[in-house]
Chains A and B, each alone.
Chain A
């Protein structure tokens, strides 16, 4: 059974149709890339899955349950985490605190006025683990707002991971990054996918990253699905080439 099943989903803004009748099924453990020219509706599609926007029509099923009308926070509780195209973090808090908030939240302590010593230590250990994985250890007590872009991105991804998600949505994780940072983030995503068997859907512009990571690729153009298949199939698809190269030229 698919972990995420999107059925014929649409969203318009007045007369502008941003997403039109898109369906997608993501299997557990899969890494799916969503690509397409600018304005193809990729981010709107993500916003529909994560609950930032309600769809005009269509249905979203996660783990066998209809989540079409759930609020964002409730989707997070079900196991859907996401990052944003423009990094969304807590700039005036340290890396440690940025991670501590989702770690405590995922453990169900959001409303606790205090924690026992053991629980606090357990939380701190999890935060440490996440910082190690994201390569953020040395920057633990720096304010995130003062860190370079790559570290902010890594923090955001680790924050999402702190939620112990079953599905991770990454909106252009390498946007605005240099080669080294792109390489680091790509490696991080690959490890999450390979070692933790995490199901990931990502939007990405950098085709090197896409073809390096993705199990399957979905191509959106003008709000609709243009093609879907393995990286090889997509690379050979003439319609995709026309849409891409036509726009790019």
Chain B
């Protein structure tokens, strides 16, 4: 019983902090956009962890679907209709569809090979956005568009000029995604994914069609990551090919590991630490990359279980 109460308390604290963030962020030196960025990156890392932590599949190419979500949303607003919800919808559709197609090609691979192929495939989309300048803006990115305020009929949500409101807009999608992930992970389907993570051979000989379930998990995971990508484009009112570069995929993975990839909230914790550090360090020095590289090395050598992994061990012992 104690365990269940702990979980409830942890959930309550997480949601309370997220809901009140715009009110206390500036006291600790933050600002609202930083909070929004944390949420977006946390969603991406949690989406990746659906695959990495809960299916045991090593995907290193999630930036591609994040970026496709971002470009889908940005291009919808710029070229099709000035509608924020529609932009998100298109972004998510593009990202998920691409993942579903790529997924069919890679489900037979495992381990480091899966990682290698996912990261390599991500480069296709990178080069498409990089080279197709007339439409995507190429290396300079897609500019001259902004997210659009939402007209609900009875009231108008000015998410463009009110950063707090936009934070809650992102939080709404974050909460929706998290709820969906929770339901999935607690379902019989979610348990088949755990089974594959724990012992693929056993899963197969319990009648679980492993390839099909990995494909589903990959596609679902990319569905969530493309939501994050679409929100990311809206947050910046801008998107460039770096949103799909493989370095970003590595960042998602390190966020999940840093926070603890076996715990549900781990990637959120990892994203908070990573994004805040990034914000702080890159304002101090040119050598953010060395810093983050060092962070990777230190985490691997000294905190492989992540922050929440360590906390859990301390609580257990």
Residue of A nearest to B186 (CB): A114
Residue of B nearest to A144 (CB): B198
A92 to B189, CA, bound (A): 18
Stretch of A30-38, A82-90, A219-227 with 4 or more beta carbons under 8 angstroms from chain B = A82-90
CB pair A115–B188 under 8 Å, yes or no, is yes
Of A71, A100, A113, A156, the most chain B CB neighbours within 10 A belong to: A113
Which residues of B have CB within 8 Å of A163?
Answer: 206-207
Known: A89-B199, A92-B198, A113-B184. A73 touches B191 (CB 8 A): no
The answer to the question of A50 belonging to the interface, with a C-beta cut-off of 8 Å to chain B, is yes
Contact bitstring B201-218, A, C-beta under 8 A = 1, else 0: 111111111100100100
Which residues of A have CB within 8 Å of B183?
Answer: 113-114
CB pair B189–A111 under 8 Å, yes or no, is yes
Which residues of A have CB within 8 Å of B49?
Answer: none
A36 to B27, CA, bound (A): 75
Residue of A nearest to B207 (CB): A76
A80 to B212, CA, bound (A): 20
CB pair B207–A50 under 8 Å, yes or no, is no
CB pair B205–A90 under 8 Å, yes or no, is no
Known: A104-B188, A114-B183. A90 touches B194 (CB 8 A): yes
Contact bitstring A106-136, B, C-beta under 8 A = 1, else 0: 1001111111000000000000000000000
Which residues of A have CB within 8 Å of B204?
Answer: 72-73
The answer to the question of B226 belonging to the interface, with a C-beta cut-off of 8 Å to chain A, is no
Which residues of B have CB within 8 Å of A88?
Answer: 199, 201-202, 205
The answer to the question of B195 belonging to the interface, with a C-beta cut-off of 8 Å to chain A, is yes
CB pair A115–B187 under 8 Å, yes or no, is yes
CB pair A76–B206 under 8 Å, yes or no, is yes
A113 to B198, CA, bound (A): 20
CB pair A101–B195 under 8 Å, yes or no, is yes
Which residues of A have CB within 8 Å of B207?
Answer: 73, 76-77, 102, 105-106, 110, 163
The answer to the question of B192 belonging to the interface, with a C-beta cut-off of 8 Å to chain A, is yes
CB pair A90–B188 under 8 Å, yes or no, is no
A90 to B192, CA, bound (A): 11
Q: How extensive is the interface on chain B, given as a class? A: 20 to 34
Residue of B nearest to A82 (CB): B205
A110 to B206, CA, bound (A): 11
Which residues of B have CB within 8 Å of A160?
Answer: 206
Closest Cβ–Cβ distance, residue A146 to chain B (whole Å)? 12
Chain A, range 37-88, C-beta contacts under 8 Å to B: 50, 52, 71-73, 76-77, 81-82, 84, 88
Q: How extensive is the interface on chain A, given as a class? A: 20 to 34
Which residues of A have CB within 8 Å of B202?
Answer: 88-90, 156, 159
Closest Cβ–Cβ distance, residue A84 to chain B (whole Å)? 8
The answer to the question of A243 belonging to the interface, with a C-beta cut-off of 8 Å to chain B, is no
Which residues of A have CB within 8 Å of B199?
Answer: 88-91
Which residues of A have CB within 8 Å of B210?
Answer: 73
CB pair B208–A100 under 8 Å, yes or no, is no
The answer to the question of A192 belonging to the interface, with a C-beta cut-off of 8 Å to chain B, is no
CB pair B187–A114 under 8 Å, yes or no, is yes
The answer to the question of A7 belonging to the interface, with a C-beta cut-off of 8 Å to chain B, is no
A159 to B188, CA, bound (A): 15
CB pair B195–A90 under 8 Å, yes or no, is yes
Contact bitstring B199-241, A, C-beta under 8 A = 1, else 0: 1011111111110010010000000000000000000000000
Closest Cβ–Cβ distance, residue B260 to chain A (whole Å)? 14
Closest Cβ–Cβ distance, residue B13 to chain A (whole Å)? 25
Which residues of B have CB within 8 Å of A111?
Answer: 188-189, 216
A46 to B195, CA, bound (A): 23
Cβ contacts A to B, 20 pairs, < 8 Å: A52-B205, A73-B204, A73-B208, A73-B210, A77-B207, A81-B205, A82-B205, A88-B201, A88-B205, A90-B199, A91-B199, A92-B198, A93-B194, A97-B194, A106-B207, A110-B207, A112-B188, A113-B183, A113-B187, A159-B202
Q: A77-B207, A104-B188, A105-B192 are in contact. List 16 more A-B contacts (CB 8 A).
A: A84-B201, A84-B205, A89-B198, A91-B198, A101-B191, A105-B208, A109-B188, A110-B207, A111-B188, A112-B187, A112-B188, A112-B189, A113-B187, A115-B187, A115-B188, A159-B202
The 4 A-B residue pairs whose C-beta atoms are closest, nearest first, are A76-B207, A90-B198, A88-B202, A104-B188
